[in-house]
Amino acid sequence: MAVPRSECLSSVWKDGIFDNKVVFCTGGAGTICSVQVRALVHLGANACIIGRNVEKTERMAENIATARKGAKVIGIGAVDVRKIEDLERCVQTCVKELGGIDYVIAGAAGNFLAPIEGLSSNAFRTVIEIDTIGSFNTLKATVPELIKSAARNPNTGDNPSTGGRIIFISATFHFTGKPLQAHVSAAKAGVDAISASAALEFGPRGITSNIITPGPIMGTEGMARLGNRDAEKSGEAFKHVPLQRYGSVKEIADGTIYLFSDAGNFVNGEVLVIDGGDWRSPSG
């Protein structure tokens, strides 16, 4: 089913700002990342989305392609971000089919609620491998293309044609610690550290590396796994969010557009938290 533009991005963004650009996204069939990609496609980009499930990923790619006439979106399934060779193969396909990679979203993640006493060493390792090592592998496999893109699109401050940018999707859990989320908190702290180091190492070559940290976002797999349905229905669930509501995937897409567009030229090594102030709330 086609998703209207108004559900993917704010009306402030100009059509065509990502013309001839290519986005590569792991976790691209998921609820948050698919809308991030869809928003970029609306604004002119072509895309390569990566997922575990072949059918789900290919179907999502076809669906995202309906966002704009002439858009090219490829979906590559059966990919395990824990394996660098899987990602290198995807990068080769993306470059062959779409001509390069200008933007990367490292969004693949694994999560479940578990107390430390109920978390086996293997369960902890699994989440570290998917989130932290998977994010590192995504950076490692795509950075040669990002370097080329940044060279084509120099980050001079007044060049509206941007390129050579990566966004990692993280979480706020490790800012404070979070019960039942020791594994994800540790994994995402590692992701933040990778992004900060990448910002310093690749900044001199014109690449920006930033984090987007979604808070409670309606309709996502994360909320389905971590949320409290009864509390959501009664409105109790929102009470700890200073803005008194959950966010939408569109609000994560808007942050993505900002960081990839020339509006975000000088933002590097930052963490953009999009959570309505939730993590700062004493009861958050």
- Residue keyed to tokens 């496999």: 141
Rounded to whole angstroms, how far apart are CA atoms 121 and 125?
6
Nearest to 220 by CA among 261, 171, 174, 257: 171
Contact between 126 and ligand HXC per CB under 6 A: yes
Residue 236: count other Cβ atoms within 10 Å of its Cβ: 11
Classify residue 44 as exposed, middle or buried by CB count within 10 Å of its CB (0-12, 13-18, 19+): middle
Minimum gap (Å) between residue 129 Cβ and ligand HXC: 8
Of the pair 201, 221, the CB lying nearest ligand HXC is at: 221
Of the pair 116, 200, the CB lying nearest ligand HXC is at: 116
Contact between 109 and ligand HXC per CB under 6 A: yes
Residues 146-185 binding ligand HXC (CB under 6 A) are 171
List the one residue from 26, 34, 46, 111 that touches ligand HXC (CB under 6 A).
Answer: 111
List the one residue from 55, 221, 231, 245 that touches ligand HXC (CB under 6 A).
Answer: 221
- Taking CB under 6 A as the binding criterion, the range among 12-20, 109-117, 191-199, 200-208 that sits at the site for ligand HXC is 109-117
Minimum gap (Å) between residue 226 Cβ and ligand HXC: 6
Contact between 40 and ligand HXC per CB under 6 A: no
Any bridge partners for residue 211, and if so which?
168, 271
> How is the beta sheet containing 22-26 ordered, strand by strand?
73-76, 46-50, 22-26, 103-106, 165-169, 208-214, 271-274
Rounded to whole angstroms, how far apart are CA atoms 89 and 44?
25
Nearest to 187 by CA among 82, 80, 86: 82
Contact between 226 and ligand HXC per CB under 6 A: yes
Contact between 255 and ligand HXC per CB under 6 A: no
Which residues of this chain interact with ligand HXC, rule CB under 6 A?
109-112, 114, 118-120, 122-123, 126-127, 130, 171, 214, 221-222, 225-226
